Amino acid sequence: MDGKRASLQDVIQQVRSHPDINNAGMILIHNGFVRASDKSGSRHVEGVCVEADRNEIKKVQDWASGQPGIVAVAIEAFDGDLRVGDHLLFIVMAGDIRENVFPVMRETIERIKGSGVKKREIYR
């Protein structure tokens, strides 16, 4: 969003302003942020260094937007040196029914984590 870090409210508003939003029956939100331990829970994390591949994220967004029942998708990925509690990723997805939206959200998260961002944890 023009070089500045968007708020979650900004990303929600982007989806709500989609011209076909009246075809949606729900909005699902993912808000990923830096946690204080690694995935296993055994190491203390001070922060993460993140590189976001905007082109790859756009491909994932386009894929998600084209799935059955999905009306609008907005994604904001944060990069740089982030600390515990900082936002990593916002995904806001509007769609018709949860049976369509939930699986697309899950796959969108997996695709972004798989190819849209590179993350290196910094341990205490």
Res 5: pLDDT: 82
Block residue for tokens 């082109």: 55
CA atoms of 105 and 66, how far apart (whole Å):
12
* 2 lies in some domain: no
* 17 lies in some domain: yes
Res 67: pLDDT: 98
pLDDT (mean) for 24-47? 96
User: Which band of pLDDT confidence, cut at 50, 70 and 90, is reported for residue 1?
Assistant: very low
CATH code (residue 98): 3.90.1170.40
- Asked if 7 and 90 count as a contact pair (C-beta separation under 8 A), the reply is no
* 22 lies in some domain: yes
Res 124: pLDDT: 83
Domain that holds residue 77: 8-123
User: Which band of pLDDT confidence, cut at 50, 70 and 90, is reported for residue 2?
Assistant: very low
CA atoms of 104 and 113, how far apart (whole Å):
14
* 112 lies in some domain: yes
- Asked if 50 and 2 count as a contact pair (C-beta separation under 8 A), the reply is no
pLDDT (mean) for 109-119? 96
Q: What does the CA dihedral 49, 53, 58, 60 come to, rounded to 10 degrees?
A: -70
Block residue for tokens 């509007």: 94
Res 115: pLDDT: 95
